[in-house]
Chains A and B, each alone.
Chain A
Amino acid sequence: EVQLVESGGGLVQPGGSLRLSCAASGFTFSSYEMNWVRQAPGKGLEWVSYISSSGSTIYYADSVKGRFTISRDNAKNSLYLQMNSLRAEDTAVYYCARANDYGESGSVYFDYWGQGTLVTVSS
């Protein structure tokens, strides 16, 4: 069974930092691209960042570029999101999501999601 379990969320002051983790199991983690997607309270879904299976290709949403860093450790079956210079508008539930292209090279569909971890940025 595929499982994604996020951790590391919490309350942080504006300008602070936080590191999220996502532990993967039930599949060959090193074979899959991974993403972070967030959802502000009462709002819709916002894609945050993507990392290829090897970690060689990385993308960010403009809203977090230069502040957030995605990484992975395939030996530990883990995905990370280092969040610096946090702002109130970063308050959200952060989900890690596995990408699947279903044979359509270049496409990204999110076929499995974690339960999410809440990040609250407030003084």
Chain B
Amino acid sequence: DIQMTQSPSSVSASVGDRVTITCRASQGISSWLAWYQQKPGKAPKLLIYAASSLQSGVPSRFSGSGSGTDFTLTISSLQPEDFATYYCQQANSFPPLTFGGGTKVEIK
């Protein structure tokens, strides 16, 4: 199974800050990676697929990069509605499909 490791597990930031979240795969997954945003009590929402492709309707302040084993989600200027938990997911090798442990973006 491919293990997905996210860091940090939580980050405190202010509105307007640039935030970067990292996801590492235990083996190479090419660019087959997704990022999701989840707010409390809500279902996850797809932000990025194929490592860097923005899902329709997602603001351009979100961007993804990386390939192989190392990936990054960047929020260029944090907005109040971006405070949430973010998950990466490998889409390459299954079963099983696997998620990272999550990164909680909190208000500083």
Which residues in A have some Cβ–Cβ distance to B below 8 Å? 35, 44-47, 50, 59-62, 95, 100, 102, 104, 106-111, 113-116
Interface of A is mostly: strand
Q: Is the Cβ of B43 less than 8 Å from the Cβ of A109?
A: no
Q: In the bound complex, how far is the Cα of B32 from the Cα of A106, in angstroms? A: 10
Contact A44 B95, CB 8 Å, known A102-B49, A102-B53, A109-B46: no
- Please name all residues of chain A whose beta carbon is closer than 8 Å to the beta carbon of B100 when the two chains form the complex: 44
Interface of B is mostly: loop
> Counting CB contacts under 8 A, is B75 at the interface?
no
Count of residues in B whose CB is under 8 Å from the partner chain: 26
- Please name all residues of chain B whose beta carbon is closer than 8 Å to the beta carbon of A110 when the two chains form the complex: 34, 36, 44, 46, 89
Q: Which of A44, A59, A106, A115 has most B Cβ within 10 Å?
A: A44
> Counting CB contacts under 8 A, is B64 at the interface?
no
Which residues in B have some Cβ–Cβ distance to A below 8 Å? 32, 34, 36, 38, 42-46, 49-50, 53, 55, 87, 89, 91-92, 94-102
Q: Given A104-B32, A113-B45, 16 other A-B contacts at CB below 8 A?
A: A35-B97, A44-B99, A44-B101, A45-B36, A47-B95, A50-B95, A61-B96, A62-B96, A109-B91, A110-B44, A110-B46, A110-B89, A111-B46, A113-B43, A114-B43, A115-B43
Q: Looking at the complex, which one of B36, B43, B89, B95 makes contact with A59 (CB distance below 8 Å)?
A: B95
